[in-house]
């Protein structure tokens, strides 16, 4: 039995911690044994000499790993606006996106550009609020910016505690005994999209937290709400929870195998062993090493 597959992109304004998050995805899944450092130029997805030297991503890099019975194909994209074309190509092939936002800087200029593209293409998105331990971090303000500046409906799955302190940590919103303003706001956003739940609430019917979470999956895939996770990528806080969130709330890739081949080459690179490699997203049909392919762009 083949594994379920989810194709995701990790996007962010530069320095939000996107590549560090990707590195910890790979480590937690067992795909790598040692965690690399952006500052030391030793991460798995920054391979160019200039990327190692500057500590920034210049090209989109693909990698794969497994998490709880699901294969996750991930594209780590550049965060600098000068390399936006790499991001645009990645958005043509992903099923969902993890948008990383710093809890200190909040929504930045390039974040807005990325969000506009995500909305135009109707790509389901999870937001990870990173760096909650840094001085000046404020998760609540960042969530308010997500709602006001992005015009999104944020639904918090995890919230942060002790923002801006070295002992900052995360706590689940649902299936806990603690009620919070953030949870109330999250449920309001769900009610905005699901009238049947609102009607049950007004009729004083009991709605379990698991029912809310089930509806969040549907609403995320329909691009009506945006799940919010928080954490500290460099300290591996909130990373496994986010991995679970990818499986819980992102749509799986389902190519149509009984139709003619339709595919998109989104990346070409030179491999030191295999030579020229083409990264292909197959939308329908099947592709093998002996396939005869019609190139639509060369007509």
pLDDT the model gives residue 102: 96
Clarify whether residues 152 and 281 are in a common domain: no
The answer to whether position 10 is within a domain reads yes
Clarify whether residues 189 and 86 are in a common domain: yes
If one counts the domains in the chain, the total is: 2
Clarify whether residues 220 and 269 are in a common domain: no
pLDDT, tens only, 123-180: 999 999 999 999 999 999 999 999 999 999 999 999 999 999 999 999 999 998 766 8
Clarify whether residues 116 and 88 are in a common domain: yes
Q: Which residues, including other chains, have CB under 8 Å from residue 242's CB and lie 6 or more apart?
A: 21, 98, 126, 128, 229, 231
Clarify whether residues 103 and 227 are in a common domain: yes
pLDDT along the chain (299 residues), means of 10: 85 90 95 84 62 54 92 82 68 92 94 93 97 96 96 96 96 85 94 96 95 96 97 97 97 77 74 75 75 70
Q: Which residues, including other chains, have CB under 8 Å from residue 13's CB and lie 6 or more apart?
A: 79, 101, 102, 105, 108, 109, 110, 111, 114
The answer to whether position 24 is within a domain reads yes
Clarify whether residues 109 and 13 are in a common domain: yes
pLDDT the model gives residue 234: 95
Clarify whether residues 231 and 284 are in a common domain: no
The answer to whether position 257 is within a domain reads no
Q: Which residues, including other chains, have CB under 8 Å from residue 198's CB and lie 6 or more apart?
A: 191
Domain residue limits at 277 = 262-298
């Amino acid at each position: 039995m083949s594994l379920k597959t989810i194709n995701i992109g990790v996007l962010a304004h530069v320095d939000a911690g996107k590549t560090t998050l990707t590195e910890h995805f790979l480590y937690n899944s067992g795909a790598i044994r040692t965690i690399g450092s952006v500052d030391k130029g030793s991460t798995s997805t920054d391979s160019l000499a200039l990327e190692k030297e500057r500590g920034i991503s210049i090209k989109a890099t693909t990698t794969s790993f497994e998490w709880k019975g699901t294969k996750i194909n991930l594209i780590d994209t550049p965060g600098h606006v000068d390399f936006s074309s790499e991001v645009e190509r990645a958005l043509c092939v992903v099923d969902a996106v993890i948008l990383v936002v710093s809890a200190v800087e909040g929504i930045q200029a390039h974040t807005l550009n990325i969000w506009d593209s995500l909305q135009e293409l109707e790509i389901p998105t999870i937001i990870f609020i990173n760096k909650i331990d840094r001085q000046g971090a404020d998760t609540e303000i960042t969530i308010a910016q997500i709602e006001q500046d992005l015009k999104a409906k944020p639904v918090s799955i995890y919230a942060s505690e002790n923002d801006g302190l070295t002992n900052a940590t995360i706590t689940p919103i649902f299936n806990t005994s603690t009620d919070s303003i953030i949870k109330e706001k999250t449920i309001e956003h769900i009610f905005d999209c699901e009238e049947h739940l609102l009607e049950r609430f007004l009729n004083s019917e009991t709605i379990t937290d698991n029912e809310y979470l089930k509806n969040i999956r549907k609403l995320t895939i329909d691009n009506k709400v945006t799940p919010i996770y928080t954490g500290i990528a460099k300290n591996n806080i909130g990373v496994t929870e986010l991995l679970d969130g990818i499986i819980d709330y992102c749509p799986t890739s389902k190519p149509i195998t009984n139709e003619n081949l339709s595919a998109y080459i989104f990346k070409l690179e030179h491999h030191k062993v295999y030579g020229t490699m083409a990264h292909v997203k197959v939308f329908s049909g099947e592709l093998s090493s002996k396939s005869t392919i019609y190139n639509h762009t060369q007509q």
